Structure 1
Amino acid sequence: MAYELYYWDGLQGRGEFVRLALEEARAPYVDVARGAKEDGQGMSAMMAELESDGPYPPFAPPFLKDGDLIVPHVANILFYLGPKLKLAPHDEALRIVANGLQLTIADFVTEVHDTHHPIASSLYYEDQKEEAKARSKDFLAHRLPKFMGYFERVLTQNPDGPRHMVGKTLSYVDLSMFQIVEGLRYAFPKATKHLAEHYPHVIALHDAVAARPNIAAYLASERRLPFNETGIFRHYPELDRAAR
């Protein structure tokens, strides 16, 4: 049976971290919210799952259905899928390490989101523009270097070499790091122009992932939604200029 991925239609968002793993593994999956209502899919199908009166309903997308099992949260989904898709270390201790790294990525993604919505997600960007400028300036000056410096150090100190975030083979964490770099470059093209100079191992990893045949095919397909100003990574020129 195909995995069922539930996420908002029209944006990459957090769902993209799961899509990349499924695409790399060429695992059969259905992006439910993007499907047709007459096929039992679409946004109404996702909302029905969220509003279900069954046990343990998910709080919010993304969540994954594998048969009757519902797995919420990106890091939790990838922790579940990793061994099944052969995108996680065989060693149990390293699988825990991978999960910890993915949770750190989740923290970073939240901080990226808060650059354009620093007050409340319920408000439009235009309602918190000045606050977003201040938040972005601090993010680019302090938080981005802190996280990216950490990821660079993890690669440098990997006992199996700097080609992967954990262990000696590709994992879902590597795919997620690719998405982080892609998103940052879209949102802050000026501020990230020299990423390769500061974080060479992170950028080398990004480039290696982009060149993988299954990922390259996905990126060239219609399944890969473009970045836009409804997702997590948003490009507002006035926020990018805040880094100067």
Structure 2
Amino acid sequence: MTYELYYWDGIQGRGEFVRLALEEAAADYIDITRQSGRGHGTGAMLAIMKSDSEAQLPFAPPFLKDGDLIISHVANILLYLGPKLGLAPDEEGLRYVANGLQLTVTDFVAEVHDTHHPIATSLYYEDQKEEAKARSAAFIKERIPKFLGYFERVLKQNPAGPGHIVGDTLTYVDLSLFQIIEGLVYAFPKAMSNYRRRYPLLAALHDSVEQRPNIARYLKSDRRLAFNTEGIFRHYPELDTDVS
């Protein structure tokens, strides 16, 4: 059965973490808001979210439909999809370890978002520019090394070796860490200029994911949306500082 992914059109955003898993597994899926025709498009997504009769009512995208089942929240979607797509550890206990790591990614992504919207999402970036500068400076100095340093340690201490974040095979968390690095390099190129030296295991993981055949094809396709100033990872030069 074809999976249906619901997320805002025109941006990678949080939906990209799910797309990467579906693309790596060559899963049959429809990116609903990027389709035209009856029953597709942003209107179809909003209809589900505003439904007065839908028992499985998602608060916000992304959410995934698998038949009659609706699953919301990135980490929850990936916890569900991981075993089905062959992107989760075989050992049940390690699946919860992977989920914990993905939830940490979720926390990190929320902090990335708040660098350009530190006061309110209802305000434009230009309405909170000075606050964004202060928030970004602290994020670059304190939070990037806090999170990336943590993931680097997890890779180093993986009993199966540092090639993957959990276990000895690719999981959806590896794909998500690839996206984190991609997004940070786009948003904060100065701050991330020396990340390969500071976090060599994360850099190696990023490169290994990028070279995977299905991911490489996806990155070159028109299905891979470009980063822009509407998504989670935004490049505003005034927010980027060199910490080398």
TM-score category by the smaller chain?
A: over 0.9
Shift of 1:40: 1.7
RMSD over aligned Cα, in angstroms? Answer: 0.9
In 2, distance between residues paired with 1:190 and 1:64? Answer: 35
Task: Give yes or no for contact 1:62–1:74 (8 Å, CA) kept in 2.
Answer: yes
Task: Give yes or no for contact 2:140–2:241 (8 Å, CA) kept in 1.
Answer: no
Q: Which residue of 1 aligns with 2:111?
A: 111
Q: Secondary structure at the match of 1:26?
A: coil
Q: Which residue of 2 aligns with 1:34?
A: 34
TM-score w.r.t. structure 1 length? 0.98
Unmatched 5+ stretches in structure 2: none
Structure 1 runs of 4+ aligned residues shifted over 6 Å read none
Q: Which residue of 2 aligns with 1:140?
A: 140
Aligned pairs for 1:1-244 within 5 A: 1-36=1-36, 38-53=37-52, 54-241=54-241
Task: Specify the code of the residue in structure 1 equivalent to 2:44.
Answer: A
Shift of 1:241: 3.1
In 2, distance between residues paired with 1:189 and 1:121? Answer: 24
Task: Give yes or no for contact 2:149–2:199 (8 Å, CA) kept in 1.
Answer: yes
- Percent sequence identity is 70
Task: Specify the code of the residue in structure 1 equivalent to 2:61.
Answer: P
- What does the per-residue CA deviation read over 1:82-135, in whole Å, with 9 as the maximum and x for residues that have no partner? 000000001010000000000000000000000000000110000000000000
In 1, distance between residues paired with 2:243 and 2:134? Answer: 10
In 1, distance between residues paired with 2:193 and 2:113? Answer: 20
Shift of 1:199: 0.3
In 2, distance between residues paired with 1:2 and 1:55? Answer: 21
In 1, distance between residues paired with 2:107 and 2:190? Answer: 23
- What does the per-residue CA deviation read over 1:172-229, in whole Å, with 9 as the maximum and x for residues that have no partner? 0000000000000000001100000000000100000000000000000000000000
In 2, distance between residues paired with 1:113 and 1:242? Answer: 20
Q: Secondary structure at the match of 2:135?
A: helix
Task: Give yes or no for contact 2:56–2:69 (8 Å, CA) kept in 1.
Answer: no
- What does the per-residue CA deviation read over 1:122-157, in whole Å, with 9 as the maximum and x for residues that have no partner? 100000000000000000000100000000000000
Q: Secondary structure at the match of 1:70?
A: strand
Task: Specify the code of the residue in structure 2 equivalent to 1:27.
Answer: A
Task: Give yes or no for contact 1:155–1:165 (8 Å, CA) kept in 2.
Answer: yes
Shift of 1:39: 3.8
Shift of 1:56: 2.6
TM-score w.r.t. structure 2 length? 0.98
Unmatched 5+ stretches in structure 1: none
Shift of 1:52: 1.3
Task: Give yes or no for contact 1:137–1:243 (8 Å, CA) kept in 2.
Answer: no
Q: Secondary structure at the match of 2:71?
A: strand
In 2, distance between residues paired with 1:120 and 1:25? Answer: 37
Q: Secondary structure at the match of 1:107?
A: helix
